[in-house]
Amino acid sequence: MEDRVRLAFAWHLRYDSDQKQTVFNRVLHLIQQIPDAPEQNMVTALLLGLSTPQLSASQEHQLKEMLKMTNVVREIEKDAAEKAAKEAIQHVAQKMLRLNIPVEQIAEVTQLSLAEIDALRSELAR
């Protein structure tokens, strides 16, 4: 974590003006390699907050877009995980239906509604 905070300060070291964009691109690339999205957001926000006066409009825009993208990716991952969990529960419910376990027990175990279980039963009948 400490190294990541230092990364946000890398932009503030002294560089020739022609190196600034290269350094910015490298810092941006390194931030994108941080596997933990909240930490990636924190370092990006820190860089943005500390560096706004020195950033070009394009660089500032890039950092803001990066913050948006990590949030979008996080939402997509969350939605995918929720969908996978729901599908796994439905699969268990279908197995329980095949074993002729009472619908009320299936609902209790899976937390699915009776209507959802009925829909699964209809799928099995096809």
Query: Which tens digits make up the pLDDT trace of 21-62?
Result: 888 888 888 888 888 888 888 888 888 887 777 788 998 888
What's the pLDDT at 38? 84
Q: Provide the pLDDT confidence category of residue 17 given band limits of 50, 70 and 90.
A: low
Q: pLDDT digit string (tens) for 63-100?
A: 888 887 776 667 777 888 889 999 999 999 999 999 99
| Long-range Cβ pairs for the range 86-92 (8 Å, 24+) | 90/116, 90/120
Per the CB < 8 A criterion, the answer to whether 71 and 58 are in contact is no
Residues 6+ apart with CB under 8 A from 83: none
With a threshold of 0.95, does the pTM exceed it?
no
What's the pLDDT at 53? 77
